[in-house]
Amino acid sequence: MHSALSLSFSQASLPLPNRPLCSLNAAPSTPRSLRFCGLRREAFGFSPSKQLTSCRFQIHSRRIEVSAAASSSSSANGNGATSKSFDYDLVIIGAGVGGHGAALHAVEKGLKTAIIEGDVVGGTCVNRGCVPSKALLAVSGRMRELQNEHHMKAFGLQVSAAGYDRQGVADHASNLATKIRNNLTNSMKALGVDILTGFGSVLGPQKVKYGKVGFPDNIITAKDIIIATGSVPFVPKGIEVDGKTVITSDHALKLESVPEWIAIVGSGYIGLEFSDVYTALGSEVTFIEALDQLMPGFDPKISKLAQRITPAKDGRPVMIELIDAKTKEPKDTLEVDAALIATGRAPFTSGLGLENINVATQRGFIPVDERMRVIDGNGKLVPHLYCIGDANGKMMLAHAASAQGISVVEQVTGRDRVLNHLSIPAACFTHPEISMVGLTEPQAREKAEKEGFKVSIAKTSFKANTKALAENEGEGIAKMIYRPDNGEILGVHIFGLHAADLIHEASNAIALGTRLQDIKLAVHAHPTLSEVVDELFKAAKVESTASTTAQSVKVAV
């Protein structure tokens, strides 16, 4: 039985690197190879309308199987009293990380708050994204270390052959998601947030309805409403997902099988992290991407380094038909046991009643201004209506959604706040990790050319860091883009051990407007990995030595 998939594909291929991505020290004998055939669009979001204009391929799978509550109202602890004219001060549609962050901050500000969830508390991040994937990546990291005999011998350790129990690994991910979901639910209940179960939609100005299928709808009013409905995996037209051999990240997180050979379509965060998991567990992986560059949303220096340490070997025959979209000529064929569609995510905004308030989505995203206020079809602001997180498409990251929600609560309680999206960090939890904040070098140089200032680059290596060498993890770099005239940090990119943890000093510096001439005087404990960032700051050559720390920096995106 065969499954046919079709996508767009621009004619481009990368030379096959000869070492493992996400594993600097993988044992050569372990069957964990990856191959890259062109690459994807961006790191922070996904634009289906642009991505899929230039490629097409078909995948014929060898083994394909076709797979065919009541609301909880919390006690009034901490939940403020509302105006008599409304049922609530704030109603949030969607109880993911963004909605949860907004709800907790609203209660702290004294607002009577309700949150509506049609599925389960925690949304994509907790149940089908960030949380279970990190559990799987924790396993893959340990497997890589145990499988690498040379790495272990360097510590004077002898370890017998490492193995794993697939169901045990899957249970670890599932149990973690359940634990975090319960934590989020309990935290809202403890503060008195009303958790309303059902699918919510906007009925009109300051009015929301919610309910379950087959039951009467409930109608409530609120002074302010936040839409926080998140996103779902984007599956290009022509691909039939059966949940067994043609899967999305939702299916992959259940780890119902570990294919011998899997094609991953898309090399953004999702694709890279799953390649780390599958290769550590013994799969051979082939990446398929529409663009001709690895990780195009990342800084080019980081992309090149990741490509250099990415594994590849010919392996056994595969059958994927790659066709040039322009010439329609066949380019290559592969045959795989499974295909993971990791082509990004699409906003979940259908059925929200947007037509009731004259709001039209743009490529599925709800249009908002820099304060997350919803914009209607005439370009006017919809009073008292906001949209945060993946549904607005500004930055499709869970912590960005939470930050946006908090900024909205600040606004509705009388404190104007514009979130600086350039200060929000991002991370890819491969082995080694990748993190970034701010602009890439090409973006910074484009900005500099338009605004008339110079750009400088500072770099440092993990090979010079005592803690990294003690861990036998000296492979990695940190790169900073900055303005030499005034010491402003424009962007920082890190590839190496615990990069996801190291990025926050730079992120906070950008958020607070701290300049290099000030932060390079900060003291870091020795020996720690934080000294990688410390050395990066100290390597900067700033023309002005005067302290110019800004009190507040507002950048709208």
As annotated, the binding site includes: 134, 200, 229-231, 266-273, 289, 344, 390, 396-399
N- to C-terminal Cα separation, the chain: 48
Rounded CA-CA distance 223/85 in Å is: 9
Q: 100, 172, 384, 526: which one is catalytic?
A: 526
Residues paired with residue 324 on neighbouring β-strands, in sequence order? 55
Quickly list DSSP for 276-308: HHHHHTT-EEEEE-SBSSSSTTS-HHHHHHHHH
Please give the helix or strand (H or E) that residue 434 lies within, else none: strand 433-438
User: Do the Cβ atoms of 274 and 340 come closer than 8 Å?
Assistant: yes
Burial class for 382, CB neighbours closer than 10 Å (0-12, 13-18, 19+): buried
Q: Side chain identity at 78, as an amino acid letter?
A: G
Quickly list DSSP for 481-539: EE-TTT--EEEEEEEETTHHHHTHHHHHHHHHT--HHHHTT----SS-THHHHHHHHHT
b/e for 471-484, b at 16 or more Cβ within 10 A?
ebbbbbbbbbbbbb
Rounded CA-CA distance 135/257 in Å is: 16
- Between the alpha carbon of residue 74 and those of residues 120, 224, 392, the distances in Å are 16, 20, 29
Rounded CA-CA distance 295/270 in Å is: 11
Residue 266 main-chain phi, psi, to 5 deg: 115, 130
User: Do the Cβ atoms of 352 and 202 come closer than 8 Å?
Assistant: yes
Told to judge if 526 belongs to the known catalytic residues of this protein, a careful annotator would answer yes
Residues paired with residue 196 on neighbouring β-strands, in sequence order? 116
Binding residues for NAD(+): 266-273, 289, 344
Binding residues for FAD: 134, 200, 229-231, 390, 396-399
| Pairing mode, strands 373-375 and 381-387 | antiparallel
Rounded CA-CA distance 279/147 in Å is: 12
Residues that are catalytic: 526
